[in-house]
Amino acid sequence: MATIQIGKGFQLPHYFPITTKPAMSTLPNSTQILVIGGGPAGSTAATLLAREGFDVTLLEREIFPRYHVGESLLPSALEIFDLLGVREKVEAYGFQRKPGAYIEWGKEKWSLNFGELAGDNTYSFQVRRDEFDHLLLEHSKSQGVKVFNGTKIRQLSFDGDRPCSATWSQSNDTSGEISFDFLIDASGRAGIMATECLKNRRLHNVFQNIGIWGYWKNALRLPKEQSGAIAIGSIPDGWVWGIPLDEEIISVGVVMHKSTYKERLTKYLEEIYLEAITECRLIADLVAPGELVSDVKVEQDYSYTSDSFSGTGYFISGDAACFLDPLLSSGVHLATYSALLAAASITSIIHGEVTQSQAASFYDQSYRQAYLRFLVFVSAFYDQNRGKDSYFWEAQRLSRRDFSGSNLKLAFLNLVSGVEDLEDAQEGIADFVMAEMSQRIQSSHNIRQDKQALAIEREKGNEVMKTNAQFFNAVEGFSTLSAVGAVDGLYIITQPKLGLAQVRYSKLRVNGVH
């Protein structure tokens, strides 16, 4: 049996103090499923599994509620809330309702209205993450999850390639070991499995950004029809968000490339922050009458992914597996979506409905597809010379549904709301998105082998060459833009129980082609 000590591997900076008050109850010596991390990924996976009747233990190193920058949720969260049985609690809490987004990007301006979406996913919420995460974790407890705050994983032990036990400690010098049958690593950007055990995390060579944010009081709001929406505006080397957290407070953040940030380090952090806001007229106008009422905080938003998200006996969820520039507010969506995938996979493994290798392949490809789709779209957005129609068309290319003509905007809305991923998971995962991206990447790769030929084609105004070059410039150096094995026919079911099922494909209609 091999053991791996935690704490000496890949680290991203952590700017907020961690409270280490010990948990109040005694940890068990064993559990059926161990979940590491109490954020949205961990609490979602733990709750779903506990509701299926499994013995679930969750270990969280901090004491909730703990600080986390406020976040804008996607409408896909509503369906997850229903599966968790927590929607009524979220609705009653009083979070700011989010009807959509207003975007001023380059020379374009447009609104997104979630009310145009089909079904019940027609709105979402703006949340303070300390409160939102605490609500989800407390709900986990109410559903039978054994939750232990202030508990840090010191090392993981393996039986071959399979993790089988974890050594933990608390600040009062209490320590112990817990064995388990399955592990869900939802340890956030610390990423215990990816950074300490597998050592397979890869930083994105393009999206190496810095996020700077603070909270404002008495700022203006968007017009009434957009009240509660997130405001997003571009600046020469990044973008600025404005998220109304309640009737009084708006979260305003600036995302810029690390090189730009370093160039401005001769100034104080608050000065860098305020200066960047002035570059975005949309947000500058909103905060003009307002007052900055919090400290200005900074954190690196380096995007990354892992070479694999799952293996024998384990699943890596949320930020522990991958992280993406927050432009499209995909963080909580990817966290809870991956948690749903992991919970369904473990359920079907335990019930003997699929093999571990089938479940791992399904999980890896499904989560990677969702991540890559957002990655491609964020890459497109950073080309600020493109108009909104080109973004709508890009969304259609990344969708396996036919949104033709005037409905291209709906393709965009379906994708950025997270609804597309949930529909994929519940209808059966088709690999065409992966194939589409792989084809574009290969095409771009071939083009870029001959720099002189590429330059000539650009001079000729070859739009295909230009598009491919722009796309590949955005994702070049990203090491895991390929599917990991086929998972034909597996999809998620939620009734009468959570799990995976198989479907036979007949003729699947993709973008109007059979």
Average pLDDT over every residue of 258-263:
88
Instruction: Look at residue 37 in the predicted model and tell me its pLDDT.
Output: 97
Instruction: Look at residue 404 in the predicted model and tell me its pLDDT.
Output: 56
Instruction: Look at residue 133 in the predicted model and tell me its pLDDT.
Output: 96
Q: Against a cut of 0.85, is the pTM above it?
A: no
Q: How far apart are CA 319 and CA 312, in angstroms?
A: 20
Average pLDDT over every residue of 341-356:
96
Instruction: Look at residue 87 in the predicted model and tell me its pLDDT.
Output: 95
Is the pLDDT at 402 greater than 50? The verdict is yes
What is the residue-averaged pLDDT of the chain? 78
CB 374 within 8 A of CB 420: no
Instruction: Look at residue 460 in the predicted model and tell me its pLDDT.
Output: 55
Which top CATH class is 202-302?
Answer: alpha beta
pLDDT in tens, 99-147: 988 889 877 787 878 777 666 778 899 999 999 999 999 999 999 999 9
pLDDT in tens, 8-53: 443 333 333 333 333 447 899 999 999 999 999 999 999 999 999 9
Average pLDDT over every residue of 64-91:
89
Contacts of residue 12, defined as CB under 8 A and 6 or more positions apart, other chains included, come to: 189, 190, 300, 302
CB 166 within 8 A of CB 177: yes
Catalogue the E-assigned strands of 170-309.
175-185, 201-217, 230-235, 238-244, 249-257, 291-292, 297-306
Token couple for 457: 């084609």
pLDDT band at 68, cuts 50/70/90? confident
CB 202 within 8 A of CB 181: no
Lowest mean pLDDT among 114-128, 467-481, 482-496: 467-481
Instruction: Look at residue 326 in the predicted model and tell me its pLDDT.
Output: 79
Enumerate the domain spans of the chain.
202-302
CB 36 within 8 A of CB 317: no
Average pLDDT over every residue of 361-373:
84
Q: How far apart are CA 156 and CA 247, in angstroms?
A: 45
pLDDT band at 294, cuts 50/70/90? very high
pLDDT in tens, 405-452: 556 556 555 554 444 554 554 444 334 444 454 454 344 434 334 445
C-alpha distances (whole Å) from 266 to each of 57, 89, 254, 263, 292 are 47, 46, 18, 7, 22
Lowest mean pLDDT among 154-158, 287-291, 422-426, 508-512: 508-512
Average pLDDT over every residue of 166-173:
91
Average pLDDT over every residue of 380-394:
54
Lowest mean pLDDT among 72-76, 90-94, 246-250: 72-76
